[in-house]
Amino acid sequence: MSVFSIPFRLKDNRMDDIWLVDFYAPWCGYCKKLEPVWQEVGAELTRSGSPVRVGKMDATAYSGVASEFGVRGYPTIKMLKGELAYNYKGPRTKDDIIEFANRVAGPAVRSLPSRQMFEHILKRHNVLFVYVGGESPLKEKYIEVASELIVYTYFFYASEEILTESVTLPELPSVLVFKDGTYFTYDEYEDGSLSSWVNRERFQSYMQIDGFTLYELGETGKLVAIAVTDEKDQTEQSVRLKGFVQRVATEHKEQFNRDFQFGHMDGNDYINSLIMGEVSVPNIIILNTSNEQYFLPAEPVENLQQLLYFFNSVLDGSAPAFGGDGIFQRIKRVVYDAKSTIMSVFRSSPVLGCFLFGLPLGVISLMCYGICTAESDDSTDNMEFIKREGLTDEDEEESENEEQHQIKHTGEEEEDENAEETKEKVD
């Protein structure tokens, strides 16, 4: 069996094994979609002899255990390694999950014993961090950061001799990041804390961006510059804008690397929902995920110089900012999300939409009708009472005599009619 049903006392028994756990809910559609992938992950890790045990737990049945591990949504994937619990936030594909499991299951910092191994690692990974030097406070901090951020990337340490001749170090010890065919050196005075720097530099400078990666990029603190294109309809303008953004990411990395993350996104659906507006395709947009602001070029970008001017205007504050996280935008977001939810329900299942929203409206309508009817009856009784209140004692006595006279007169008429009917029958 490749995937195990996790025992209830997982927290007590997990110290002896490394567990990769899927916390799921039986009714969750995303959980059901992950199920076949999860079975493949378990089978693959078992075949490869990995020390990682793959399991699943019904978080609704064992809500107490799930709560202890900080499970807030479904499905939640966690690697449990000794006292530590690592959240998996990557794409839910077999290869990505297995790569995460193998990375986190190993040591936080791996050794590079030779130049041959170093060159092999450079070819294998798009982004990796390397500590160079001996024992130092910087190495201790590096190990601490690696233990925290190993869920995202790889960390190595090496001696200066194993580096290629193209790598020059300003001093020892040093921490370097290798990506995009080049490398950058950590500078405490310019880059701030080591943890923040690693978090900012753990992505390639230019990449394809989707809703998930955009969420991840938001944690770096960088502005995200995106060429919004239609990959199915590659127009000349789309190709040109993507090329401009790539050139900025590579040719002007020294100027913009610390402030921008670059990439392209297929289609504008996600962007439109994010900004609650409409972005034409193709286009350039810069997102500030920390305060939900965004920037658009004042005019179409026709050349690289225009794009560079746009980026600089965002940095110096002269470009107009849209959106934000003010109270008006928050109210707008609530209304927009509610509207989007209702529309998605009706698009996916009109009958269910009518039931979910029509039934409450019908109940409310009946309640309003009942209240109005009750008020109308009470009003009639009150008017009758008011009329009686306005009569004097003599008028009221006269009114009562008239009512009794009418009743007596009606009774006499009924007796006469009955007598005539009896007489006719006798005749």
Q: What is the pLDDT of residues 41-72, one digit of tens each?
A: 999 999 988 889 898 999 888 888 888 888 88
- Rounded to an integer, the average pLDDT of 193-218 is 87
Evaluate the CA torsion angle 101, 105, 111, 117 in order and state its sign: negative
Select the more confidently predicted residue: 375 or 224: 224
Instruction: Go through 139-174 and write b for each residue having 16 or more CB atoms within 10 A of its CB, e for each that does not.
Output: bebbbebbeebbebbbbbbbeeebbeeebeeeeebb
Higher pLDDT among residues 269 and 379, named by residue: 269
> Who has greater pLDDT, 172 or 90?
172
Flag whether pLDDT at 170 surpasses 90: no
- With vertex at residue 118, the alpha carbon angle to CA 182 and CA 201, rounded to the nearest 5 degrees, is 40
Within 10 angstroms of residue 2's Cβ, the number of other Cβ atoms is 16
Locus of tokens 């927290």: 11
Give residue 190's pLDDT: 86
Beta-bridge partner residues of 264: 208, 227
Average pLDDT of span 364-391: 58
Closest by CA position to 110, among listed 146, 151, 134, 161: 146
Hey, what are 266's tokens? 């297929």
Cα dihedral value 349, 353, 356, 361, nearest 10: -160
**Which DSSP state fits 219?**
G
Q: Which of 128, 125, 187 is nearest to 155 (CA)?
A: 128
Residue 350 pLDDT greater than 80, yes or no: no
Q: Give the catalytic positions in this structure.
A: 28, 31
Alpha carbon 407 to chain centroid, angstroms: 78
Domains recognised in the chain with CATH numbers: 3-99 (3.40.30.10), 110-201 (3.40.30.10), 206-327 (3.40.30.10)
Per-residue pLDDT for 427 more than 50?
no
**What is residue 356's predicted lDDT score, i.e. its pLDDT?**
56
Please compute the mean of the pLDDT values over residues 68-79 and round it to a whole number.
Answer: 88
- pLDDT band at residue 258, thresholds of 50, 70 and 90? confident
Q: What is the mean pLDDT of residues 285-313?
A: 92
pLDDT at 358: 60
Is the per-residue pLDDT at 383 higher than 70? no
What is the reported pLDDT for 417?
Answer: 52
pTM for this predicted structure: 0.67
Asked whether the predicted pLDDT for residue 391 surpasses 80, the reply is no
CA distances from 78 to 4, 57, 73 (A): 14, 11, 12
Segments in 227-293 forming alpha helices (H)? 236-251, 253-256, 269-275
- Residue 30 φ/ψ, nearest 5 degrees: -65, -35
pLDDT of residue 385: 46
Mean pLDDT within 281-293? 90
Residue 320 has pLDDT above 90, yes or no: yes
Burial class, 113, CB count within 10 angstroms (exposed 0-12 / middle 13-18 / buried 19+):
exposed
**With the C-alpha atoms ordered 127, 128, 132, 136, is the resulting torsion angle positive or negative?**
positive
Classified as helix, coil or strand, 233 is coil
pLDDT of residue 182: 87
Closest CA to 8 of 60, 72, 77, 62: 62
Return the top range by mean pLDDT from 111-125, 364-378, 407-421.
111-125
Flag whether pLDDT at 145 surpasses 60: yes
The pLDDT value recorded for residue 33 is: 92
User: Is 90 exceeded by the pLDDT of residue 314?
Assistant: yes
Rg of the chain on CA atoms, in Å: 37
pLDDT, tens only, 101-110: 999 998 999 9
pLDDT in the model for residue 186 = 94
